[in-house]
Amino acid sequence: MSISFKGKVAIVTGAGNGLGRSHALALAARGAKVVVNDLGGARDGSGASSKASQEVVDLIKEKGGEAISHGANVANYSEVEDMVKATMDKWGRVDILVNNAGILRDKSFSKMSLDDFKLVMDVHVMGSVNCTKAVWEIMREQNYGRIVMTTSSSGMYGNFGQSNYGAAKMALLGFMNTLVQEGAKNEIKINALAPTAGTRMTEDLMPEEIVKLFAPEAVTAGMLTLCDDDAPNRFILCAGAGGYSSANLFETDGVFIPLEEQTPENVRKNWSAITATEGQQALQTGSAQGEKYVKKAMAYMSGKK
């Protein structure tokens, strides 16, 4: 079945270059009206220019699509509100939000300033929070919404020199997990994309021939599956260079240790059972962990009677 976004309105942040640009062009090519957001700063977040985002808008219009640009700094909520207001004034709804904007301030943790750590958190985490907050009630009232968070393998697995970036990207998964539960009754679905692409953000980190292999369009093909009518929910899609995979957080079944035996020595003694992967699950809520422990305790108490 062909994936179409005809009649949908999408906001794509950080859409002046790289992945965001690819996302915006692809959404427009499949019928979406697109807000191309980009502060127009350098890779480290400095500076601002509307040139890149306007070029994307012009490309969309040249191909018969509809688009507007907006230079909101996603870390500034009042600017984000203005962007959403402009979208509503123009088209009257917001169906899709792709939280793609980001910056890099890579250094080992020992050499990283707290200002650099905070700035990356502000753009990636609070930028996504701000944009999501600004569209949340709109999506609730129209009983429809699709939100894509941009996470990273640096968050899920770690990457030297990216403690700030990794912390931010992992935080977005926690944000997603709760929004999934709160948005379910209003047909709001939230998913995460973990891209590997040769973009302006990574062009200095890989040889030129490898950068060409990791084209943004390969990632965008996956992103489109996360925000259409038949999108999954709470899904982490990893994509790059033609490779696609899913990531998940699993918890082992674990053991129960009676109160009188709860010592660090006994925890260590049960380590093989605690870490055994047989029966492990991807829990759907935080409370599910507590429910599992209660069941183990009740089973133990029943066995003693």
The three-class DSSP label of residue 96 is: strand
Task: Pick the closest to residue 177 from 79, 258, 78, 287 (CA basis).
Answer: 287
| CA-to-CA dists, residue 220 to 3, 26, 156, angstroms | 13, 7, 20
Residue 98 main-chain phi, psi, to 5 deg: -110, 105
Residue type, 18: G
Q: In what order do the strands lie in the sheet with 9-12?
A: 67-70, 33-37, 9-12, 96-99, 145-150, 188-195, 236-240, 243-247
Separation of alpha carbons 276 and 4, rounded Å: 44
Q: Which two tokens stand for residue 206?
A: 């890989």
Q: Which amino acid is at 294?
A: V
φ, ψ of residue 9 to 5 degrees: the values are -115, 125
Q: What tokens does 220 get?
A: 């965008």
Residue 172: which of 77, 101, 243 has the closest Cα? 101
Please list the alpha-helical segments (H only) found in the chain.
Answer: 18-29, 51-62, 77-91, 114-121, 127-142, 153-156, 163-183, 208-213, 216-224, 264-269, 271-275, 287-304
Between the alpha carbon of residue 147 and those of residues 65, 79, 106, 238, 258, the distances in Å are 22, 19, 27, 16, 44
97 bridge partner residues:
11, 147
Catalytic residue of the set 157, 165, 244, 300: 165
77 is annotated as an active-site residue: no
Residues annotated as catalytic are: 165
